[in-house]
Amino acid sequence: MRSADVIVRGAGPVGASLALALSRQGLRVALQGIARAAAAPDIRAFALNAGSAQLLRELKVWDALPADACGAVHDMHIEGDADAGRLDFSAWSQGVEALAWIVDAQALQQALDAALAFAPHVQRLHGDDTALRAPLLALAEGKASATREKLGVAMPVHGYAQRAVAARLVADVAHAGVARQWFRSPDVLALLPFDRPQSQRSYALVWSLPDARADDCMAMDADAFEQALADATGLAAGRLRLASERAAWPLALARADPVCGPGWVLLGDAAHVVHPLAGQGLNLGFADVRALAAVIAARESWRELGDERLLRRYARQRGAPNFAMGQLTDGLLQLFASEAPAARELRNRGLGLLNRIGPLKRLLASHALDA
């Protein structure tokens, strides 16, 4: 293929799903790059909402996931600094099948790659082909996108001086589809129910910690780390033991401006990065894919794919939701990271009050279910 309708740079979940979505419209797609390489098994897990799951169903990827690679969250318990600071959600009260689905990152990538192998209009290119031309360049290369930098697009980064520590855990009691999260100064700990490596007893851990504390946790031996988990969770999920290596990465807030221009557009982490405390990072990327695919499908027959006015329709659709999620996660982090007594009292009373206001709680959950 020496020419294409769309070049997609970045073959991770966002880039791969965009290539599949545009291929379904009959567009010729050149997909450049390879999925995130890892020296060790990928221990990440994604919390996907209903909108993301629906996109993957439409792309014939969802049903291809192994049964143990995708687990439903039926209930979520969120705790603050004190017993009064508690918030509970349930799929039953929301009238939905699940609050979220916890999906193995490596299994998701493998399912996307398998679907791409059967996509008739997608050509995989593992290097930069400077001779390749297309009316539209879609950048899904991640937060360190080199092409975005070459375009001169600003993406100021606000570092949190925190890192996320991730691991797979196995508990001595069944998780029953319950996700648990602790918001305390200065850390946020999430246990996401999972079936790998052990059915009904596994969790994906995401523990956001100040850099120094993250260093300590990464340096601990397994016994010390498991004791730190016991202290942090109060054994609410049972006794937890490590079932994988640990990984860590820095946390930040960032947003590109602009996200499109003549012949190019940004999606996913190449356009926005948020704190993982709400588990919405990949959901925002998949929502970008849905919006851009819909805008392209509805374009006028005479309009070029790279027409900036067309791409601005996508930018308008995604601008407010992406900005709002960034502000929400940042605001929550600032509130829960503060050690001031007034802030502690506000957050704990706020969680308890919100837990008792059914309509407001359902409204908050509905936004998270389909960002």
Per residue in 210-262, pLDDT tens? 999 999 999 999 999 999 999 999 999 999 999 999 999 999 999 999 999 99
Question: pLDDT confidence of 336, banded at 50, 70, 90?
Answer: low
Q: How high is the pLDDT of residue 185?
A: 76
User: Cα separation of 161 and 212, whole Å?
Assistant: 9
Number of H helices, E strands in the chain: 11, 18
Look up the CATH number of the domain holding residue 226.
3.30.9.10
Residue 232 lies in a domain: yes
Are 50 and 113 found together in one domain? yes
Decide if pLDDT at 186 tops 90: no
Containing domain of residue 63, as a range? Answer: 6-69+102-157+251-337
C-beta pairs of 340-346 under 8 Å, 24+ apart in sequence: 344/81, 344/185
Residue 80 lies in a domain: no
pLDDT score of 84 more than 60: no
Given a cut of 60, whether residue 363 has pLDDT beyond it is no
Number of domains in the chain: 2
Quote the pLDDT of residue 314.
98
**pLDDT at residue 172, rounded to an integer:** 97
What are the CA-CA distances from residue 151 to residues 88, 129, 264, 341 (Å)? 45, 17, 9, 46
Please check whether residues 288 and 327 belong to one and the same domain: yes
59 plus 140 within the same structural domain: yes
Question: Read out DSSP for 136-161?
Answer: EEEE---TT-HHHHHTT-B--EEEEE
- Say what the pTM is: 0.91
pLDDT at 158 over 60: yes
Here the CATH number for the domain that contains residue 115 is 3.50.50.60
Residue 109 lies in a domain: yes
Confirm whether 207 is domain-assigned.
yes
| Listed residues 235, 250, 265: the one ending a domain | 250
Question: Are 57 and 201 in the same domain?
Answer: no
